[in-house]
Structure 1
Amino acid sequence: MEPLLDFEECVKDSPEFRLKLELFEADVSTMETHLDKVMKLCSKMVEAGQAYSAANQLFLSSLADLSMYQKKDSVITNCLNQFNQGLQEMVSFHTMLLDQTQRAISQQLTNLCTQFLPQLAETRREFIRIGEDLETAAVKSAQVSRHKAGDAERASHLLLATRKCYQHFALDYCLQLNTFKTQQKIDIFNSVFSYVHAQFTFFHQGFDLLRDLEPTMKTMAAQLSQLSSDCATKRKDLENSHLLVQQRDASGEPMVSPCTESDDTIQGYLFKRSRRKSKTWKRCWFSIRDNQLIYRKSHKEDNVVLFEDLRLCAVKSLEQIDRRFCFELLSVQKCCALQADSEQLRQAWLSALQGSIDLAYRERADPQTTQPKELPPPPSGGDPAPGPPTQKLQVLGVALRGPGNNQCCDCGEEEPRWASINLGVTMCIECSGIHRSLGVHLSKVRSLTLDSWEAEQVKLLCVLGNHVMNQIYEAECSEQGRAKPRANSPRAEKETWIREKYVEKRFVQNHSLDKVCNGKDDAGLRLYQAAKAGDLVTMAHTLAQGAEVNGSITKEEGRTALIGAAVGGSLLACEFLLLNGANVNHRDRRGQGALHAAATAGHTGQVCLLLKRGANQYAVDERGQDPLAIAVETAHADIVTLLRMARMNEEMRDSEGVFGAMADDETFQDIFRDFSNMASHTPERLTRRQFSRRGEEEGEEEEEEEEEVQDRGGKVNSVEKRSE
């Protein structure tokens, strides 16, 4: 064993001890340098190994993805999966090796350095400091005169004490050096042994794993031999097929025909004109599928739906441009110019598109959307006269019977199929697309043949209509020398006309809206009074001149025109204002809104309409009463029933479980539909009457009303029982 520092020599502090101590200190310093180098290199090796494991893991993942292409062959897939699992385990073994290396080298050697070296450095500093104090004390003791007994005694005592302290620190320092010298061998050997053992375990596990994969490798070798034979046979078949196709005559013009191998009705290449750059045309692949026109710009891009519903489109030849074989497809929202390669192909596409449109109408015709439940005949003016309808009429037939509605309001094209529900006009498909581009705040476009309509909306088309609205919006057209476009006018001309007419309102008669009537009236009051009186023409004229639909009328306690319509009881006035952006929840200075006013006046139709349009039935006025409390106070039974049903439906919708599923069920919808139809067609039957015996005929009417109320009450009770 290597000799250590002798404690006896340490006490003597001889030159030999000093020399040996310096050698020990130099050895400790060298050992510290080597340990630090080993730990740093070990950390770098572990980091490199971890990076290798991560890269290996990604590589194995890519191999697993590659093996997915062979999933049809179960044998090959099984072999590849076993190989992948084995290699994954090898990666796991390597990760374990790196972890064990980290613990074996870095952690153990770090413990050795942190346990001994800092304490050795501290003890060495104290040892050097006390040694210097001892040297100073010895010099002072030697310099004291023999004649100064007191000084000599004190110097001797100081020298003795310093020597004892020095010997104590020297012995401790020697002990720590000897201990470090002894411990370093154990820790270093143990660390290296642990590392070698980890390597041994790693390679032993890898050997066992590959030995288990040996049967799979034999199976895979047999599969490779079979695949080689099959590949050679397949290559010969491909070469023969290639020769056959190469010898086939593929000359001639490509034809467009129905596709039997796919869901497409027709497909082929067409040129499409850019909407932004009219001179730019791009060749794209088009097809008709599921009543939609779809195209693809290139094989790298996905299909794009150009027209979502061909029922909303019209197709016609395009002869106004220089390019040949062109045709155009029009819808509400846009139009698109297309070009075929020949006249024969253009006719084929025109026939296919028109056939798809006709087929869609035959297959998808829905009587519930093309026919309203019950619609009255068009009235001659003002609010329509009440009375039950005599037959179920189509929306189109009723709307076109209005004054001027059989022609487009903007270009005069015959038999329009579209309408603006807030303006109360009908229009052709091209003008409807321009209206749609204006925004729903100006024009709400709806189809007369495809969309569902409520009775009040159809009545607005009959009461207002193209004749009345054009008198308002085209009042000064002739005075300004402006010519109205025709059906065959370019789209750009129609678009300019429609924007001047409805956006800029250039042709509306320029009456001063702040002109004083009777000394106090203004535009808002004029709109309010017209709404209260149910005068739709005056309302439309006032809005066209720029009146605010949500203007608060100071002279009417802060009410709006919608509240005035609810007070007056005109259902069409309420619907017209709501379609033009009226705030259904505005409240006046007393905290009452349109729903409060309708409940107070007993107008059941208005209550039903406002509830459907989202009126807040929980809003309270300055007395703390909501519409239900007002209806109870005024004893309007039908309104109480409506509000109770609406409140119950909303509470059940907010609940969870079976009650939430019951919300908006058929019972609620039936009751609201009954009230809505009665309010629209026979409003006098909702008028609250006092029971009297004024005659046999009146008694029969009251008995019928009582049966209706009981019937609605039975529906309410059935819903309440279900909710309980």
Structure 2
Amino acid sequence: MDALLDFEECVKDSPEFRLNLDRFESEVSLLETKLDKVMKLCNKMVEAGQAYNAANQLFLSGLAELSTYQKSDSTITNSMNQFNQGLQEVINFHTMLFDQTQRAINHQLTNLCTQFLPQLAETRREFVRIGEDLEMAAAKNAQVSRHKASDAERASHLLLATRKCYQHFALDYCLQLNTFKTQQKIDILNSVFSFIHAQFTFFHQGFDLFRDLEPTMKTMAAQLSQLSAECAVKRKDQENKHLLVQQRDACGEPMVNPCPANEDIIQGYLFKRSRRKSKTWKRCWFSIRNNQLIYRKSHKEDAVVLFEDLRLCAVKSLEHMDRRFCFELLSVQKCCALQADSEQLKQAWLSALQGSIDLAYRERTDTALTQPKEPPPLVCGGDNSPGPPPHRPPALGVALSGPGNQQCCDCGEEEPRWASINLAVTMCIECSGIHRSLGVHLSKVRSLTLDSWEAEQLKLLCVLGNDVMNQIYEAGCSDEGRIKPRPDSPRAEKEMWIKEKYVEKRFIQSSSSGGARHHKDDAGLRLYQAASSGHLITMAAALAEGAEVNGIVAEEEGRSALIGAAIGGSLLACEFLLQNGANVNHRDLRGRGALHAAATAGHTGQVCLLLKRGANQYAVDENGQDPLAIAVETANADIVTLLRMARMNEEMRDSDGVFGAMGDDETFQDIFRDFSDMASHDPEKLSRRQFSRGAEEDEDDRGGVMNSRHSVKKRSE
């Protein structure tokens, strides 16, 4: 037991009593401060708990709405409803817990403070006042002369009365302090006990509640296990189907149904020529069903019957047209020209149409007639004439000839079929899916067998490739203690590796020192210098180290790396920067962009590439000159021809309006393709030359062809 104030010592008013009194008063003051702090913290806890309950209530409302989404599945709905009810009970228990906490802590401690502390303060003030009066009375009594009997008697009586009053207040004050000392322990312990009991009740109710939900949880666990197994089987089946579809040829396999009974015999996309404007072709979805040819212009429109009865139609191939893979369907009332994407699809449609016509006449199912004839295999970007198929498509063969490209760059799987254009690496199908999830700003994934590839893109894969890029992106792998995934590694491990390698760039070893800002500026300068000299490996390293592909170099009049590559004349450097997000229309402080620089330097291949990538040929520099004016001034016949024909093609396309022919003029496309192929395969033929009579005639001949085609368009309108 703690020592209390002694009443005997209080009457004596001894120094020991005064020391004990000071200690008691300081303890009361300290206890009052702590009680006030506990009550404030309790209020904050209760407010936070109420906010938590409100958020919990909103969460349960969201769960209830989610359960209504699964209303078709009674098992899930019943389980969700039971869980929702149980969680609602938990919220109610929480509410009761906070109410009991507030009563247990705040109410009881507040009663303790309001019952004793104000009275103690008032009694102390009286005690101090009477003590001061006693001191004054004692001093006066001591100062009275012994020769003044009446004054001495009055002083003695005053001292005696004051001392009795002081003793009365002192004893009363001590009693109140002792009572508070005793009572505060009971009230504090009672308050804490009530709080603990409320917590005990809350958790006991929660235990009982979830014990009642235990059978439902076991049932749900069994259903989850079954659903997981079924989901795994379905996912595996979908992955197998995905792989089968992914491995189809680039031209696409025709969707032919061998047992058509009331279903589509064949379906797919075809180009349909407009009957009003013969040069207008629109891509539509066609299908053959119930002896009718049906098509849809878009997924938002209803299907339209093009030919109601195929028995009244004849089908033939169109060999005299300039467009490839065309065939025609004729009836008594109308005819319609259609175009497939490849010779294989064309033959499939011809066979399906003829088979459907024969089937309608004979009124019996003949599956053989509805099967497409086996067409000669096609090669991506090659000749479609019949012949023995090569071992692999040319794009795949060229890509795999690069250093280290025969294995996936990230897991080492043999014979990869996918590649990243901007990273210039090859990869397996699983790693390609992870690369796609990174976003096209980090990796642009394309198929080496299903997509078309340009010569510059394939050259990047050969010049850089897996070995070169892995030396950059995996340089510090051993220092980090990381082990590269294998082909049989889990997908999660491959995903973590690819993110660390390309997103976090964790294994790249910096070639410059200094702060982050200095490192970034240094990488940007190295990128510009490497682009100007056409050093692809240094460019790839600079980009990997954080150089901004569109960063400007102040020392070079605000030029970007793409402008430097156009000046230097490296076609692959331009393509590499463009694939990594370079702005084709950025201009330096003199108003000159990459197209201005290529025209000034006489690099025809760069001009052709930049035009294909959307460079603005009408932009003028500080002297008011556009790229065409620069090419005329430098007397470069090929660039002048290319820019003039590109400009004429845009004018012709604009004059056709929204109902004009789709795409660019065919003559322009042919010449443009010739320039592009020559720049990639035989750049020496595009060496800079001066205007001569022969060059002028050549340029005039090309322009004359375009002008004649333009006049034919105008006359047809």
TM-score bracket, normalised by the shorter chain, equals: 0.3 to 0.5
Normalising by structure 2, we get a TM-score of 0.46
Larger Rg: 1
